[in-house]
Amino acid sequence: MLNPHAISTDPPMLQTERLLIRPLSYRQLLLYVRPGPALEHDLGVKPHPRTLPDELREALEQVILPGVAQSGGHYLFSTLWTIIERTGHVMVGDLCFKGPPNEQGEIEVGYGTYPDFQNKGYMTEALGAVIQWAMHQPGVKAVLAETEKDNLPSHKTLLKNGFAAYQEVDQMIWWRLVKPLIA
């Protein structure tokens, strides 16, 4: 599924059977938030209408952009990774880590598939690829995710990637995938 040797090393671009997954630079993040297809042109993919949900815009402005700016070149756990469908050369979704590993070696992942591309398995495939990449990074021992209780497609995506629910708070479920121990 995942090419264990990313297409390039700086920055890594991950490749699966159907997808390319690439981290966005600070400059590309600025293009992402601009109206129009500026980012798509920069990436060399076909423009497709996409909207920027308020929650993602807020995350970009308050967390992602400042995190990438302050990362000193080590931005892969702070930036947005875009998911590109290889055959159609179109962006189908995004995902991100919510910062570098904490003291317990945990990282949190968030993700979203654009409406026209939902229910096609793209996020399951992309999440599997970035998890495999992340588990090979120093200090990473587990990946966490948070979903709303009624978001069944997201639950399926996490379950297919080996996550287990470990906590429920209000309307949210927390999920964990622990790095396998190598004997």
For residue 48, the domain's CATH number is: 3.40.630.30
Q: Is the pLDDT of residue 1 over 50?
A: no
CA–CA distance, 118 with 92 (Å, rounded to integer):
8
Return the H-helix or E-strand segment holding 132.
helix 122-135
Q: Is the pLDDT of residue 39 over 70?
A: yes
Tokens found for residue 137: 């990074």
Confidence of residue 57 (pLDDT cuts 50, 70, 90): confident
Tell whether 59 is covered by a domain: yes
Domains in the chain: how many in total? 1
Tell whether 152 is covered by a domain: no
Cβ atoms < 10 Å from Cβ of 20: 20
The better pLDDT of the pair 181, 81 is held by 81
Tell whether 163 is covered by a domain: no
Q: Is 125 within 8 Å of 17 (Cβ atoms)? A: yes
Q: Is 138 within 8 Å of 77 (Cβ atoms)? A: no
Grouping H, G, I as helix, E, B as strand and the rest as coil, residue 55 is helix
Kindly report which listed range (25-34, 55-64, 85-94) carries the lowest average pLDDT score. Answer: 55-64
Tokens found for residue 63: 């967390």
Tell whether 179 is covered by a domain: no
CA–CA distance, 93 with 81 (Å, rounded to integer):
9
Grouping H, G, I as helix, E, B as strand and the rest as coil, residue 75 is coil
Which structural domain, as residue segments, surrounds residue 64? 14-140
Confidence of residue 74 (pLDDT cuts 50, 70, 90): confident
pTM assigned to the model: 0.90
CA–CA distance, 79 with 67 (Å, rounded to integer):
7
Kindly report which listed range (36-50, 52-66, 90-104, 114-128) carries the lowest average pLDDT score. Answer: 52-66
Q: Is the pLDDT of residue 5 over 90?
A: no
